[in-house]
Each structure stands twice: as C-alpha cells, then as structure tokens.
Amino acid sequence: MTKQKATLLLADGTVFSGTLIGAPGTNGGEICFNTGMTGYQEIYTDPSYTGQIVVTTTSHIGNYGVHPEEVESAAPCVAGIVVNSFSEVFSRLDASGSLQDYLVTAGITGIADIDTRKLVRHLRDAGAMNAIISSDFEGNLEGLKQKLAEVPDMNGLELSSKVCTQEPFFFGDPAAPIKVACLDFGIKTNILRNLASRGVYCKVYPAKTSFAEMEAWKPQGYFLSNGPGDPAVMHYAVETVKEILGTNKPVFGICLGHQLLAEAVGISTYKMHHGHRGLNHPIKNLMTGKSEITSQNHGFNVVREDAEKNTAVEITHVHLNDNTVAGIKLKNKPAFSVQYHPESSPGPHDSRYLFDDFISLITKN
C-alpha cells in the first residue's frame, strides 16, 4: 500500500501527523476510544458509532481481515478510524478481504502510525471533543480548522432516524411462539440473533414508527434498541415509549433504549466526560450481588440522582469503575433496561442472561 500523509486535528488544537488508511478525503466527527482487544469489524459496523471517529487502543488493526458474518449492520458506520499499526496483509483463511479494501469501498477515511497511547491519555483528561481526519489539507492547518468547525456537536444531535431501517422488516422464524416489536434506533444484528435464538419472531420498525402501527401487529413484548446521538432531544421516541408502557407488556431496552426508558419515566440524561467503550467494563448486578464483565459503547448516561429519587424505579446494575447507573427496572411495570450490551458482539457473554429474563417476563405476562 502506497503511504500517503494524513492529519488528525482535534477541536482543542492538538495535531497528530500520520499516514492515510482507507479512502482519501476529509471526515469529521466526535473522537472517542475503544479499549477492546479484538472485534474491530463489529465496532466499525455498530450504528451507535455514527458520527464518531474511533480510536482503537490495541496496537494492531487489520491483521485478520474482514468476514461477512462479523458485521452489525450493512456497512461501516464510523466517521473515521485512528490506529497505531495498520496491517493491509491479513492471515485468516476464511476472511473475505482486507480491512483496507473494506474501508475504501465504504468511503471511510482513517489515519495510522500515530501514538494512540498519547492520544487516548489526552482524551481521558480533556474529554470527548470533535476532530477531523484529512489527507487533503497537507500544510493547510487553517483550512482544516475551518472544516472542523463545520462538524456538528454530538450534544443535542438526533441521529437515530437517519441510521435506522426505513421500512419494517422481519427477523427470525415466523412460527416462533413469541412476537416482539423492536424499535430500531440503530439496532445491532447480534441483538436480533439473540432474540431469535430464544424463540422470538422480531418485527423491526423505524425509529419514528407510531405506537399504533406497532401495536396493530399484536406483539407480546417490545424491545428498545441501541443507537447514536443524544437521547434528550428524541422527544418523539420518549412519547412512543410512554405509550408502550401503557400496555403493561414487557419492555427491554439496551443502551440508547435504556436512556429512552429512563427519560420516559422522568429520569434525565447527560453527556459523559469521555464515555464507556470497550469489552472489559465491570458491572455489579445489585439484584444478585454478582459481577459481570461487559461490552459497552455509550457517551450519554442517566442521572443517578434522578433515578434514586424516582419511587417508581429501582437501580439494578451499577458500573464499578465510576458508580454510574448501568441498569434499571420499573417497580409497577414489566420493564427493564441496561446501559451496556449483553449481545456482546464483540465481547464476553456474562450478560446474555438478560435476554432470558426478557423472555421469562413475556412468558409470565
């Protein structure tokens, strides 16, 4: 691969120089880091990363190529990628191609050969901010700063209606005994696989689908998916969740779905300093006293003080690194949610019992 220079510019003026990977061009977004040691294809295709430049903290990226079954959506969703050492050569027999070709086809611009340890330490101290990667502005830092100023702030940004399916679709066995309506805010495919493997026939609806349309299908439960953007501005989704809760049918929310369930019962959300993204986040289940290692990807969270004061809500899980709320359940409704990803693609399988809990709620209901 012929090496071409590229520049990474952060909103606070920090500059990194490296080499271009992926497609030539200029892409901006909110920069964040993921501490996972594997699973880069699943990370890049996760719709929750829409509008974000992802820094991977593991040293080598691209060394096992790409595989058609290891995707969470139809194409990469990231705004850009930042890596230390990039490998165009891959060594997995069943890989379908190189990560480089995959990124070029998707039009994703990235940068390699920079000190990602230094960058991550900077982001941990300075917090989340916008950034831009470019191979077009060599020697023109002022021009790149002007392009960076055009990148929208993630705070107050609604993205789910842009990344979700535009038409309803089915997933699973039509003869399955349980029907669940899945509200797509940027749903990961492995969530649907986990539901289908437990005897669920899913109908996946666009983010702005009305409650009446979903209820007309007569589902036995509702699922609220993960997704990108700021939950505080998704008023349309919050109102739909309130209507769903009125049915007393079981509800399960993951990540953004967790935040929207919280907003629907009066718990506010906030933008985190630099978020939780990785495969090794420790969570404590307050119901069982057991801990689990989890996969996480979120830059927003629910306000713990609001949750503690809400008499209709019980906090079920907490993040052991910073004591933030990682799960809630409603005391008077068959509804619960978690801030992390029990479908764990990639990641550990400690939390997949939550899908079983959802099925049990439906069965009992």
Residues 241-269: tens digit of each pLDDT? 999 999 999 999 999 999 999 999 999 99
- Please identify, among 116, 149, 182, the residue that sits at the C-terminal boundary of a domain: 149
133/215 same-domain check = no
Determine what percent of the chain is predicted with pLDDT higher than 90. 97
> Is residue 155 in a domain?
no
Q: Convert 323-343 to b/e letters by CB count within 10 Å (16 or more is b).
A: ebbbbbbbeebbbbbbbbbbb
Active site residue ranges: 255, 341, 343
> Is residue 220 in a domain?
yes
Range of the domain at 237: 160-364
How much is the pLDDT for 1? 62
* CATH code, domain with 127: 3.50.30.20
> Residue 241: CA atoms inside 13 Å, Cβ hemisphere, count?
31
> Is residue 51 in a domain?
yes
How much is the pLDDT for 365? 84
> Is residue 83 in a domain?
yes
> Is residue 154 in a domain?
no
> Is residue 68 in a domain?
yes
180/305 same-domain check = yes
pTM: 0.96
d(CA 182, CA 162): 17
Residue 185 has pLDDT above 70, yes or no: yes
Q: What is the pLDDT of residues 260-319, one digit of tens each?
A: 999 999 999 999 999 999 999 999 999 999 999 999 999 999 999 999 999 999 999 999
- pLDDT, average across residues 203-227: 98
Number of domains in the chain: 2
> Is residue 235 in a domain?
yes
Exposed/middle/buried for residue 23 (C-beta within 10 Å: 0-12, 13-18, 19+): middle
- Please identify, among 89, 121, 149, the residue that sits at the C-terminal boundary of a domain: 149
SS3 170: strand
- Please identify, among 95, 119, 149, the residue that sits at the C-terminal boundary of a domain: 149
201/331 same-domain check = yes
- Terminus-to-terminus CA distance in the chain, angstroms? 58
Q: Which of 46-50, 135-139, 153-157 has the lowest mean pLDDT?
A: 135-139
Residue 2 has pLDDT above 80, yes or no: no
Residue 351 has pLDDT above 90, yes or no: yes
* CATH code, domain with 235: 3.40.50.880
Residue 194 has pLDDT above 80, yes or no: yes
How much is the pLDDT for 263? 98
138/230 same-domain check = no
200/333 same-domain check = yes
The token pair at 189 is 């495919």
> Is residue 14 in a domain?
yes
109/181 same-domain check = no
323/197 same-domain check = yes
100/142 same-domain check = yes
164/91 same-domain check = no
91/191 same-domain check = no
d(CA 47, CA 42): 10
Residue 188 has pLDDT above 70, yes or no: yes
How much is the pLDDT for 59? 87
136/181 same-domain check = no
How much is the pLDDT for 359? 98
20/113 same-domain check = yes
